[in-house]
Structure 1
Amino acid sequence: MTGPGAEMIDDMLDRLCPMHVRLGPDGVMRHFGPTLRKIRGGQSSEGQAFWDMVTISRPRSVDGMDALLDAARHGGTLRLRFRDDPAAALKGVVVPLDDGGAVVNLSFGISVVDAVRIHGLSAGDFAPTDLAIELLYLVEANAAAMEASRKLNLRLQSGMIAAEEQAFTDTLTGLKNRRALDHILARLSESGETFALMHLDLDFFKQVNDTYGHAAGDTVLQRAARVMVAATRERDAVARIGGDEFVLIFPRLVDPDKLAMIARRLIQGLEEPIPVGEQTCRISASIGIAIRQDSEEAAEDLLHRADIALYAAKRAGRGRFRVAGAGDTAGVDDATFSHDGD
């Protein structure tokens, strides 16, 4: 098929079937559709045998022009792929021509998404009625929806984490709050892990509030929180449970001497003068320490023993600590405590 008629047919095929190839009676490629030419890197393969460009896997009997035309008479559906890279899988439909040649219209089938990515194709490379266009739109829409869903999930997760942190955080100091403390103690109690805790109360804090105002008191509390965090390990927990009351938890630390060293460090750090504007505030701390070495002891009992030790420290003159003995209960005197911070 040559002449003006052939050019008109080729132009029509280019519009309707941009991935077609027209073969002469000898199986030589006479014309390429524009998309197929783009996929082939813009190179012209006219004049070459069709079999040099592709290998046909189904039907297996197609190995020449006669077999190709016979396939056309029996439905004309081919499975094939390019011989060179990228060896994309293709589907083909064969339509015989009056001159003994044929038109083979190719498509990527379900591999169209990969083909678009590999070859840099766009909607203009497909026939306007090709279902591949709708598939590409669906894939793009699905990708956009998935990305939007991913971002929404991330925002929701971030919001949940932020809400959870807020629920367990003291807003003034950034320390854990009483709710967080209860969760930590419950977890440690269930695990049977040994730990110690300190009940710390700031001495002379009321005078700061009464003399300099609540803004100065807030500054002092924030400074005290930094001192406590600096004196503890990353695995430890520091919680503010009241206006000037704190509880510090020390997992797997039950050595009284080490706990005494930490208590002294805390008291020393908290007694450093705290500048507030043009004023200087001074506080101290009293600390009660209780050690859980019996896995059966309830957290409430441990807190109670630490509370008793704290008030023993206050009665002894403040600015000191006491370590509760294992059997300490309400009503004991100072002599019952195994360590002191005098």
Structure 2
Amino acid sequence: MISTADLLQRLRPLHVCVGKTGHISGHGRSLTKLGVEDLRGKRFLEEFEVLRPSAIGSMADLADCQERVIRLRLRRVPDIVLRGLVINDQADGIILDLSFGIAVVDAVRAFDLTAQDFSPSDLAVELLFLQEAKSTAMAASFNLNARLDDARLAAETRALTDGLTGLHNRRAVDGVMHRLEQSQTVYSVLHLDLDLFKDVNDTFGHAAGDTVLKHVAAILRRNTRKDDLLVRIGGDEFLIICPGLVDRTRLATLSETVIRDISAPFEFDGHRIAISASIGIGLSLDVPHLGPERVSDNADIALYAAKRSGRGQHVFWTKELGLTLADMPLSQARRS
């Protein structure tokens, strides 16, 4: 025959038996997982604090809570609040059938509890299953959202990136210029065009031309700042947008360095490739109320002036160059 103590251990692994003197006569095996030793022989109210009802201060008070649910906690584990159903036994003592209530998830996490630490019919086991299922579903959802975000960012990056050089493409320009205008940040636009690039394609083929464009992109990366926007706007034309940089001396030095590095001959497939570059520069300070489009147009006009003046040089836009290409003498000068 199974004893009452064994029966309680099997059916209610989280219980406490208290004798009529207020001493603990036995308890379920799961209590030992909460960081306490054998509680038998110790006074119940010295080991447990009854939170509700708050008037309980003796064994008689506890016995008066027959078939009521009380809230209590182990004094050694104050962070976990327990629920207990008070049942009077036949020897003037009580049995407290304990559970973690809504704190069960925290308790399982804190004390490494398993299903064996609960009654087979305890709904806490189902709650833990649901919690685990929820956590798994949330983790899967988080991972899916992260992958979708990564895919979206990758697609947006591809949409704004030139496939050959890895620089930004024309689509990226409008957004950056708009933000600069909205933030009232001064900036400069350098419009760069390669000289004699068509001769490279015609003489050595498009593979050589692609190599030249990648070579130029590397030079631009090497000589510009982290915050500068580097753009291939098509063919052999590039933009450098420099937020906060309007100092003519620094811009002249940047342009000269870029032109010098691009003009240095290099080898391709056993052939010596030699090109140069021209740069036109527009400053937002020169047209403070006319917006980004005007600054870009000014850089374009200055580029034509650099081309017409012999290529391989940089020119700043000035009012003398006019506001349109038609204002310039020899405005139909062809870029090559």
Q: 2:145 aligns with which of 153, 158, 169?
A: 153
Alignment partner, residue 318 of structure 1: 311
Matched, 1:307 2:307: no
SS at match of 2:65: helix
Alignment map for 1:173-322 (pairs within 5 Å): 173-293=165-285, 294-322=287-315
Q: Distance in 2 between matches of 1:303 and 1:52?
A: 82
Alignment partner, residue 51 of structure 1: 45
Matched, 1:20 2:27: no
Q: Deviations over 1:160-198 (max 9, x none)?
A: 221111111111111111111122223333444332212
The alignment's TM-score, normalised by the length of structure 1, stands at: 0.88
Q: Deviations over 1:279-328 (max 9, x none)?
A: 22111011222222222123333322322222222222221222221352
Distance 1:265 1:69, change over 3 A: same
Structure 1 runs of 4+ with >6 Å offset? none
Alignment partner, residue 169 of structure 1: 161
Q: 1:108 aligns with which of 86, 100, 110?
A: 100
Deviates most, 269-278 or 63-72: 63-72
SS at match of 1:241: strand
SS at match of 2:162: coil
Shift of 1:86: 4.7
SS at match of 1:286: strand
Distance 1:31 1:219, change over 3 A: same
Is the Cα contact below 8 Å between 2:34 and 2:77 reproduced in 1? Answer: no
Shift of 1:102: 2.1
Alignment partner, residue 331 of structure 1: 327
Distance 1:304 1:97, change over 3 A: closer
Distance 1:203 1:87, change over 3 A: closer
Deviates most, 296-305 or 120-129: 296-305
The amino acid that maps onto 1:281 is I
Count residues with an aligned counterpart: 326
Deviates most, 278-287 or 301-310: 301-310
Please list every run of 5 or more consecutive structure 1 residues that lacks an aligned counterpart in the other structure.
335-342
Q: Distance in 2 between matches of 1:18 and 1:308?
A: 87
Alignment partner, residue 96 of structure 1: 88
Shift of 1:204: 1.5
Q: Distance in 1 between matches of 2:319 and 2:167?
A: 29
Shift of 1:93: 0.9
Aligned residues with identical type, % of pairs? 44
Q: 2:26 aligns with which of 12, 21, 31?
A: 31
Is the Cα contact below 8 Å between 1:62 and 1:71 reproduced in 2? Answer: no
Q: Distance in 1 between matches of 2:295 and 2:56?
A: 87
Q: Distance in 2 between matches of 1:261 and 1:37?
A: 76
Is the Cα contact below 8 Å between 2:279 and 2:315 reproduced in 1? Answer: yes
What is the root-mean-square deviation in Å for CA atoms of aligned residues?
A: 2.1
The alignment's TM-score, normalised by the length of structure 2, stands at: 0.89
Q: Distance in 2 between matches of 1:262 and 1:144?
A: 55
Is the Cα contact below 8 Å between 1:198 and 1:287 reproduced in 2? Answer: yes
Matched, 1:63 2:57: yes
Is the Cα contact below 8 Å between 1:290 and 1:305 reproduced in 2? Answer: yes
Please list every run of 5 or more consecutive structure 2 residues that lacks an aligned counterpart in the other structure.
331-336
Distance 1:103 1:198, change over 3 A: same
Distance 1:195 1:77, change over 3 A: closer
Is the Cα contact below 8 Å between 2:279 and 2:314 reproduced in 1? Answer: yes
Is the Cα contact below 8 Å between 1:192 and 1:295 reproduced in 2? Answer: no
Distance 1:280 1:83, change over 3 A: same
Q: Distance in 1 between matches of 2:174 and 2:79?
A: 64
Q: Distance in 1 between matches of 2:313 and 2:193?
A: 11
